[in-house]
Copies of this chain bind each other. A is one copy, B any other.
Amino acid sequence: MKKVTINSVASHAGVSKKTVSRVLNNEPNVSAATREKVLAVFKELDYTPNPIARGLAQNRSFIIGCLYDNPSKSYITRVQTGALEACKENNYNLLIHPCEFRGEALINNIEQLLQTSRLDGIVLTPPFGDFAKLVSFLKSKKIPYARVASALLQDDSISVRSNDEQGAFEITEHLINLGHKSIAFIKGHPDHSATQQRFKGYRRSLASHGIEFDERLVEEGNFSYHSGVDSARSILDLSPRPTAVFASNDYMAAAVLKLATQRQLKVPDDISIAGFDNAPIARHIWPGLTTIAQPVEEMTKQAVTQLISHIAQPQEQPYQVTLESRLITRESTSAIK
Chain A interface residues toward B at CB < 8 A: 48, 50-53, 55-56, 61, 63, 73-74, 76-77, 80-81, 84, 91, 93-96, 98, 115-118, 225, 251, 254-255, 257-259, 261-262, 280-281, 284-286
A117 to chain B, nearest CB (A): 6
Which of these, B48, B56, B63, B254, contacts A56 with CB under 8 Å?
A: B56
Which of these, B52, B74, B98, B116, contacts A48 with CB under 8 Å?
A: B116
Q: State the CA gap A259–B288 with chains docked (Å).
A: 11
Q: State the CA gap A284–B285 with chains docked (Å).
A: 9
**CB nearest neighbor in B for A115:** B48
Which of these, B93, B117, B255, B286, contacts A261 with CB under 8 Å?
A: B286
Which of these, B116, B254, B285, contacts A51 with CB under 8 Å?
A: B116
Q: State the CA gap A143–B115 with chains docked (Å).
A: 27
What residues of B have a CB within 8 angstroms of the CB of A80 in the complex? 96
A82 to chain B, nearest CB (A): 12
**Contact flag A225-B280 (CB < 8 Å), given A52-B61, A285-B254:** yes
What residues of B have a CB within 8 angstroms of the CB of A225 in the complex? 280, 284
The 3 closest A-B pairs by CB, nearest first: A48-B115, A258-B286, A261-B286
A288 to chain B, nearest CB (A): 8
What residues of B have a CB within 8 angstroms of the CB of A280 in the complex? 73, 225
Q: State the CA gap A98–B115 with chains docked (Å).
A: 27
**CB nearest neighbor in B for A260:** B286
**CB nearest neighbor in B for A285:** B285
A105 to chain B, nearest CB (A): 14
Interface centre among A76, A98, A284, by most chain B C-beta atoms within 10 angstroms, is A284
What residues of B have a CB within 8 angstroms of the CB of A98 in the complex? 81, 84
A99 to chain B, nearest CB (A): 10
Residue contact B96 to A94, C-beta cutoff 8 Å: yes
Q: State the CA gap A259–B286 with chains docked (Å).
A: 8
**CB nearest neighbor in B for A228:** B284
Residue contact A284 to B281, C-beta cutoff 8 Å: yes
Residue contact B84 to A77, C-beta cutoff 8 Å: no
What residues of B have a CB within 8 angstroms of the CB of A48 in the complex? 115-116
Q: State the CA gap A196–B129 with chains docked (Å).
A: 45
A250 to chain B, nearest CB (A): 10
**CB nearest neighbor in B for A262:** B286
Q: State the CA gap A285–B256 with chains docked (Å).
A: 10
A66 to chain B, nearest CB (A): 9
5 A–B contacts from the bound complex (CB under 8 Å): A51-B117, A56-B56, A74-B74, A259-B286, A262-B286
What residues of B have a CB within 8 angstroms of the CB of A76 in the complex? 77
Q: State the CA gap A280–B81 with chains docked (Å).
A: 20
What residues of B have a CB within 8 angstroms of the CB of A118 in the complex? 50-52
A277 to chain B, nearest CB (A): 14
Besides A52-B55, A91-B116, A93-B117, 4 new A-B residue pairs in contact (Cβ under 8 A), listed by A number: A93-B95, A94-B96, A251-B284, A258-B286
